[in-house]
Amino acid sequence: MTDRDYYEVLGVGRDASDSDLKGAVRRLARQYHPDVNDSPDAEERFKEINEAYAVLSDTERRAAYDRYGHAGVRGAGGTPDFTVDFSDFADIFGEFFGFGRAAGQSRNVPRRGADLQYRMDLTFEEAVFGIDKEIEITRDEVCSRCNGNRAEPGTSPVQCTTCNGRGEVRQARQTILGSMVQVTTCPSCGGSGTTIESPCNNCSGRGLERQTLKKVVTVPAGVDNGNQIRLAGEGQPGPNGGPNGNLYIIINVKSHRYFRRRDRDILLDLEVNVAQATLGADVPVPTIDGEATLKIPSGTQPGKVLRMRGKGVPHLRGNGRGDQLVMVNVNVPKTLTSEQRQIFEDLAASLGSEVRPQERGFLDWLKETITG
């Protein structure tokens, strides 16, 4: 029991609202609770907080305190009544005592249903261009026999006699704060407030039945591995008539025989022979749109990257497309015919035998960046 001014204890003004008082208690409880503060006076400080809130949160006792001070609330015995329902602070006191506003207190109100996930496999082309794809999902639906009532048709749920339909039971407990109210889910009805004497034969009293449903999912062009598509309201039904959860489609793109992807660009390794690299050539190459012609400039070196504009992946949230980047690899023949060998020997004689170490340049950096 403290003789300190209750407003001073909580650090609020005399015009403090209920929300101001609760905010002060939350802040001070986290600061002075003995489980988190081992100073010698922490417990007494915490009791002061409880005492101050017990008085100031009660309209009549607060008015008496404002008019007469401590004498107005302590009565003949000099001890104030500390019995307060602290369930509004379940997020704090539940951490310390293992109780507070139990889930059962909100069991009767509509709640959002659980979300579902579905893994969708796409080919490289489907991910690039998009597709409408049918999937099958299994989820709960309202029971077709009892319409979610949980009871066999012709009967009805009855009010739980343990909790009188509240879905919760309350019990006063003594703590270092004084008398606190513990709120727990009703053990008889599980928080629903009703009991079923004749459960539905179809859903066994759940009010829900498992069903497999078909859905057509529109996959936008340009999706990539790990992208998610949210289908609002296609998840599990919400308890007590609450809204359905969502269905999340998780995209998995299969590997392609030729192509790789870097953001909006498509990467392709292309092998050309020595003559094509030296003299230049127009060569057919695969693209995501089909075969196209790529010009190989004369003197193309191994590792050179050629860009085919607009042949990449569409922008997922915008216009236009990325590019296709073609990395040229020069194929040096391992075996030669006698005629080919003679040609190379003549070429070698004309080029000479000098060799020079080459410094790493921009193309080396670019190649490493592209290939990872």
pLDDT of 98 reads 44
> pLDDT tier at 39 (50, 70, 90 boundaries)?
confident
Question: Distance between CA 138 and CA 210 in Å, rounded?
Answer: 7
Range of the domain at 149: 116-253
pLDDT of 102 reads 40
Helix (H) or strand (E) holding 174: strand 168-175
40 and 138 together in one domain: no
Number of domains observed in the structure of the chain: 3
Q: What is the pTM of this model?
A: 0.60
248 and 264 together in one domain: no
pLDDT of 104 reads 39
Which whole number is the average pLDDT over 122-139? 96
Q: Tell whether the model's pLDDT for residue 176 goes beyond 60.
A: no
Is position 94 within any domain? no
Q: Which residues contact 90 (CB under 8 A, 6 or more apart)?
A: 99, 100, 101, 102, 183
Q: Tell whether the model's pLDDT for residue 237 goes beyond 60.
A: yes
Question: Distance between CA 50 and CA 82 in Å, rounded?
Answer: 8
Q: Tell whether the model's pLDDT for residue 42 goes beyond 60.
A: yes
Which whole number is the average pLDDT over 35-52? 79
Q: Tell whether the model's pLDDT for residue 81 goes beyond 90.
A: no
Is position 95 within any domain? no
Is position 90 within any domain? no
141 and 244 together in one domain: yes
- Other C-beta atoms lying within 10 Å of the C-beta of residue 343: 13
What CATH number has the domain bearing residue 285? 2.60.260.20
Write out pLDDT tens, residues 52-67: 888 898 888 888 888 8
